């Protein structure tokens, strides 16, 4: 019996790729280069399964290609805003994702960014590397306290709650949050978290604002020129969610004018094509989408994909079905 044909669009961890070779007629992206639109269309026509990542774009134009062989997009990542879900539904395509396994690693990066922007870590590193540090001085590179400050979380799901625990129990931070849906009462009591009725209410109170909301029409440019005006001039913005949640130009303007004190970013609009305005600023910390980038987490994500494929080919309920 022929094995199902599977395309992996980018390199995965070695242990998962080994399992894929054993189980399927798999094509790996040995050079790890981003694939083109025409290659995605051809993949849908020639493979039973395509396994994209969050950096691969599958708009309607791609999904509507004729003579599709592919029946399932087994996505490597929690987010799936790079896939046109309505077009997938219309084409009868199953879409799965990899939730629950990257919560702690992403919350770790959010906390890393908070500490780096608060204490001007990236700026200090650049100063030392450029051999421009003249030594300790009482007023040199003054920054912001983290311990005891107020952390505002926009989006209070798994990752937001994980960051809140690190901040509250590790740094005695006060937790406030905005979340459209109800949050478990135990979580609220455990963290002594206070709910804000609006994003604006949260922005006015928080010393650090961390974004953990999904990308979509309702959250695109949620942080923009108008909402940034509600933040304190001493406040910092952290984004490990999705780049589209923040209006890049508005944030650059706010940082440049010192309307807010700083920002820490792991995700960007149109990444990896980062707005050049960010590169000119000292008061922003920039990371290359490292949220889930630990060996353990990326392996667990691959194992999630394997579990979804095993269920699919066994005719069982898929554990992480989106569509």
pLDDT, tens only, 177-190? 999 999 999 999 99
The pLDDT of residue 1 is above 90: no
- Going along the chain from its start, the domains and CATH numbers come out as 5-99+294-313 (3.40.50.720), 103-286 (3.40.50.720)
Tokens of 103: 């919560």
The pLDDT of residue 210 is above 90: yes
Q: What average pLDDT does the chain have? A: 97
Q: How confident is the model at residue 291 (pLDDT cuts 50, 70, 90)?
A: very high
Percentage of the chain lying above the pLDDT 70 cut: 100
Q: How confident is the model at residue 221 (pLDDT cuts 50, 70, 90)?
A: very high
pTM of the model as a whole: 0.95
Would you call 289 a catalytic residue per the annotation?
yes
Q: How confident is the model at residue 215 (pLDDT cuts 50, 70, 90)?
A: confident
Identify the active-site residue in 39, 200, 201, 271.
Answer: 271
* Beta carbons within 10 angstroms of residue 172's beta carbon: 11
Would you call 10 a catalytic residue per the annotation?
no
Average pLDDT over residues 52-80: 96
Average pLDDT over residues 147-174: 98
Percentage of the chain lying above the pLDDT 90 cut: 98
Question: What's the Cα-to-Cα distance from 299 to each of 17, 195, 317, rounded to whole Å?
Answer: 10, 35, 22
pLDDT digits 0-9 by tens, 39-50: 999 999 999 999
The pLDDT of residue 121 is above 80: yes
Average pLDDT over residues 286-314: 98
pLDDT for the residue numbered 216? 82
DSSP lists the bridge partners of residue 49 as: 6, 72
Average pLDDT over residues 298-320: 98
Average pLDDT over residues 269-294: 96
Give the H/E segment covering residue 249: helix 248-256
What's the CA gap between 31 and 302, in Å, rounded? Answer: 18
Structural contact between residues 294 and 268, judged by C-beta atoms closer than 8 angstroms: no
pLDDT digits 0-9 by tens, 68-88: 999 999 999 998 989 999 999
pLDDT for the residue numbered 32? 97
Structural contact between residues 201 and 178, judged by C-beta atoms closer than 8 angstroms: yes
Average pLDDT over residues 44-63: 97
What's the CA gap between 56 and 65, in Å, rounded? Answer: 16
Identify the active-site residue in 10, 236, 242, 298.
Answer: 242
pLDDT for the residue numbered 150? 98
The pLDDT of residue 167 is above 80: yes
Identify the active-site residue in 158, 289, 303, 321.
Answer: 289
Q: How confident is the model at residue 31 (pLDDT cuts 50, 70, 90)?
A: very high
Q: How confident is the model at residue 214 (pLDDT cuts 50, 70, 90)?
A: confident
Would you call 39 a catalytic residue per the annotation?
no
């Amino acid at each position: 019996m022929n094995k199902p044909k599977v395309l992996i669009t980018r390199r995965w961890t070695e242990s998962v790729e080994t399992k894929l070779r054993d189980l399927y007629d798999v094509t790996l992206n040995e050079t790890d280069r981003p694939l083109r639109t025409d290659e995605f269309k051809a993949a849908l026509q020639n493979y039973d399964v395509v396994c994209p990542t969050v950096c691969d774009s599958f708009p309607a134009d791609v999904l509507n290609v004729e003579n599709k062989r592919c029946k399932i997009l087994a996505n490597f990542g929690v987010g799936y805003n790079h896939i046109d879900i309505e077009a997938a539904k219309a084409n009868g395509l199953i879409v799965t994702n990899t939730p629950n396994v990257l919560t702690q690693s992403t919350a770790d990066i959010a906390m890393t960014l908070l500490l780096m922007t608060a204490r001007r870590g990236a700026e200090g590193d650049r100063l030392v590397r450029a051999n421009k540090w003249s030594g300790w001085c009482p007023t040199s590179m003054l920054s912001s306290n983290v311990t005891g400050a107020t952390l505002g979380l926009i989006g209070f799901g798994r990752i937001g709650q994980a960051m809140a625990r690190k901040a509250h129990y590790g740094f005695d931070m006060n937790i406030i949050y905005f979340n459209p849906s109800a949050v478990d009462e135990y979580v609220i009591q455990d963290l002594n978290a206070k709910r804000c009725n609006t994003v604006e209410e949260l922005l006015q109170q928080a010393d650090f604002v961390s974004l953990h909301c999904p990308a979509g029409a309702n959250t695109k440019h949620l942080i923009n020129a108008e909402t940034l005006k509600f933040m304190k001039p001493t406040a910092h913005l952290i984004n490990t969610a999705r780049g589209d949640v923040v209006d890049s130009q508005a944030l650059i303007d706010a940082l440049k004018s010192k309307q807010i004190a700083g920002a820490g970013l792991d995700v960007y609009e149109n990444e990896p094509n980062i707005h050049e305005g960010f590169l000119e600023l000292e008061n922003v910390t920039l990371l290359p989408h490292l949220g889930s980038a630990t060996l353990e987490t990326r392996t667990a994500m691959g194992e999630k994909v394997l579990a979804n494929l095993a269920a699919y080919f066994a005719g069982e309920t898929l554990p992480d079905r989106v569509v």
